[in-house]
Amino acid sequence: MTAAASTWPPHVGGRTHQPVRRGSQPFEAGEAFFRPLKKATVVQIMRGAERLAIRSMKTRGRGRVKRRHAGELTLSDLNILQALLFKFLDWRSGRCAPTYQDLADETGHARDTISGAIRRLRKAGILEKMRRFTRLEDVEGKGPQVQQAPNAYRFDLPVVLRALLGLGAESRPIPDDARTAALQARLSNGEQEAEQTGKSNLESVLAAWGRGLEQRESRN
């Protein structure tokens, strides 16, 4: 089987009686789907997502947004993205295929929260998802011949994040030896902005979040 194989189940109308979600790709298709990333790019994605979440919370805090719109992120979304990038992603190969249970065990979030976070990360252009299936061997009779496999994920640094980071369309990644200084500058800027807007609670939350991210990056 190759990555060029058709999706499963085939679209023939009606029920397929196969335990696989429509649009799923063969398991092997993930090898061509995964995208290797440099460490510096991974850090930029995380930093950009943080700034997008900060902007979203400040906008909602001023009462300008009464409901969450496409492209907005929450702190739980950041927690799940952090787990994907720094726990489950192999930066060199780009492989990232945790199950929802893996993410729940790592983050402590419920399945619905994880599902919503993945949906919002996709809308923001940060995350892409591929549904996959595997074929069952030595199956007799007329029962299901395939089963759902863990989703494959890959990541990007979309235009909205580049703009929030002050990067050009063809910006170069941040050097690895500058990551610590960049994180410290981000935290300092975030604290100053929070103080100016009078959001002391937001300041404490973001400062705690930044410290946790810095510790995780140090371990990685």
Ordered structural domains, the chain, with CATH: 25-174 (1.10.10.10)
Average pLDDT for 76-103: 95
Q: Which two tokens stand for residue 121?
A: 């990360």
Average pLDDT for 104-133: 94
Region of poorest pLDDT, from 113-117, 166-170, 216-220: 216-220
Secondary structure element (H or E) that encloses residue 177, with its range: none
φ, ψ at 60 (rounded to 5°): -70, -35
pTM reported for the whole predicted model: 0.66
Contact 24, 133 (CB under 8 A): yes
* pLDDT tens digit sequence for 143-167: 557 778 899 999 999 999 999 998 8
Contact 216, 86 (CB under 8 A): yes
Predicted confidence band of residue 33 (pLDDT cuts 50, 70, 90): very high
Contact 151, 97 (CB under 8 A): yes
Could you give the percent of the chain with pLDDT greater than 70?
A: 58
More confident residue, 151 or 197: 151
Predicted confidence band of residue 24 (pLDDT cuts 50, 70, 90): confident
**Does 199 have pLDDT greater than 50?**
no
More confident residue, 54 or 7: 54
DSSP letter for 14, please.
S
**Does 14 have pLDDT greater than 60?**
no
Sheet holding 25-26, edge to edge: 25-26, 127-135, 146-155
Residue with tokens 């609670």: 201
φ, ψ at 188 (rounded to 5°): -60, -45
Average pLDDT for 166-185: 52
